[in-house]
Amino acid sequence: MKKVVTGVDIGGTNTVFGLVDTTGKVIAEGHLKTTDYPVARDFVKALGSGIRKLMADKKNIELMGVGIGAPDANFHRGTIEHAPNLAWKGIVPLADLVKNEIKVPVVVTNDANAAAMGEMIFGGAKNMKDFIVLTLGTGLGSGIVVDGKMVYGHTGFAGEVGHMVVVPGGRVCGCGRQGCLEAYASASGLVRTVSLMISEMREESILRDIPPSKLTSKQIAEAAAKNDPVAVKAMQYTAEMLGFGIVNSIVFTSPEAIFLFGGLAQAGEMLFAPVRKYLEKYNYVLFKKTVKILPSGISESNGAVLGAAALILNELS
């Protein structure tokens, strides 16, 4: 019998799940449309049949447990709580629901913590004890590992670097407050920056031809790679804000590395080079040249599933 776990990545729109062996190989994958299930219990039933179907297609495998990465998930309580991007309102006891459906151990955490766990077990942080993963997608998530352990904190929600205030009285954030890092250093923050810069700058820019509602961080990164002045300036500003968030995080945990993961990190050196520059500029003297800024060591395509699988493997070990 080959031992496998299931990694589940619940997103606002889509859910991906996969059977993963103990070496980090995804041996089968399935999908659900999260939005097809406005009731969490129906979703769990569909997930259960999806996993059982994957298991039935393989021979001689044994399911050890299920790890789930989801927005606004609480590791301590196994719940998803008041997730604004999901139809399931209030507090959903997801770990218990899935445990009842599949009868194996289940752990739940937020997607950024799962990404950090994936980095630690299968990715670029295999030999590190202190590191931080920042997921730069629509928002900014973070997973913080200290002395080989994920930081969950008193509430189970620790590691919300995206809601660190970097500009007092600044941009309105999705959380209802102002000036959070996420409102600047994320794919949506970059788009907001470009929209502002287009109206303030006089330079020619290919981004002016794209309607603001259609503008994506990918287009901005591509324009920056072609030296488009608005795109370059916007990337620099985003990197500077991210730099503030990073130096503020470093003073707490003195990490060996910060991994940048997610859509915006795909901009590669257009983002990494200025982030490194601002890190050196603003970093506190004791930590200068002690922190590496690295791309994720896990492929973007199944990173979230691997992270969730790593989460349960870590619990079972």
Q: Is the dihedral of CA 40, 45, 48, 50 positive or negative?
A: negative
Nearest to 254 by CA among 230, 275, 285: 285
Bridge-based pairing of strands 140-146 and 149-150 is: antiparallel
Nearest to 26 by CA among 17, 15, 13, 14: 17
Instruction: Select from 32-40, 73-81, 111-119, 156-164 the region that touches Zn ion (CB under 5 A).
Output: 156-164
Nearer to Zn ion, 108 or 173 (CB): 173
Q: Is the dihedral of CA 137, 141, 143, 144 positive or negative?
A: positive
Smallest gap from Cβ 160 to Zn ion, in A, equals: 8
Nearer to Zn ion, 163 or 292 (CB): 163
Of residues 38 through 57, those in contact with Zn ion by CB under 5 A are none
Q: Is the dihedral of CA 221, 225, 226, 232 positive or negative?
A: positive
Smallest gap from Cβ 10 to Zn ion, in A, equals: 21
- The footprint of Zn ion on this chain (CB under 5 A) covers a number of residues equal to 4
Nearer to Zn ion, 141 or 307 (CB): 141
Nearer to Zn ion, 8 or 112 (CB): 112
Distance between CA 65 and CA 90 in Å, rounded? 26
Work out which of 45, 163, 277, 292 binds Zn ion, going by CB under 5 A. 163
Nearest to 307 by CA among 123, 146, 137, 153: 123
Smallest gap from Cβ 124 to Zn ion, in A, equals: 28
Nearer to Zn ion, 39 or 172 (CB): 172
Of residues 170 through 199, those in contact with Zn ion by CB under 5 A are 173, 175, 180
Tell me which H or E stretch contains 3: strand 2-10
Smallest gap from Cβ 265 to Zn ion, in A, equals: 20
Smallest gap from Cβ 185 to Zn ion, in A, equals: 12
Nearer to Zn ion, 6 or 249 (CB): 249
Tell me which H or E stretch contains 219: helix 217-225
Q: Which two tokens stand for residue 253?
A: 């945990």
- Site map for Zn ion, 17-36, x if CB under 5 A? --------------------
Q: Indicate the burial class of 67 (C-beta count within 10 angstroms; 0-12, 13-18, 19 or more).
A: buried
Smallest gap from Cβ 163 to Zn ion, in A, equals: 4
Look up residue 295 and give its DSSP letter: E
Smallest gap from Cβ 193 to Zn ion, in A, equals: 16
Instruction: Select from 66-74, 159-167, 199-207, 240-248 the region that touches Zn ion (CB under 5 A).
Output: 159-167
Distance between CA 203 and CA 212 in Å, rounded? 17
Instruction: Select from 67-75, 118-126, 158-166, 301-309 the region that touches Zn ion (CB under 5 A).
Output: 158-166
Q: Which two tokens stand for residue 312?
A: 């349960």
Nearer to Zn ion, 166 or 312 (CB): 166
- Tell me how far apart the terminal alpha carbons of the chain are, to the nearest angstrom: 18
Amino acid at residue number 174: G
Distance between CA 78 and CA 86 in Å, rounded? 16
Smallest gap from Cβ 184 to Zn ion, in A, equals: 11
Taking CB under 5 A as the rule, does residue 241 contact Zn ion?
A: no
| Contacting positions for Zn ion (CB under 5 A) | 163, 173, 175, 180
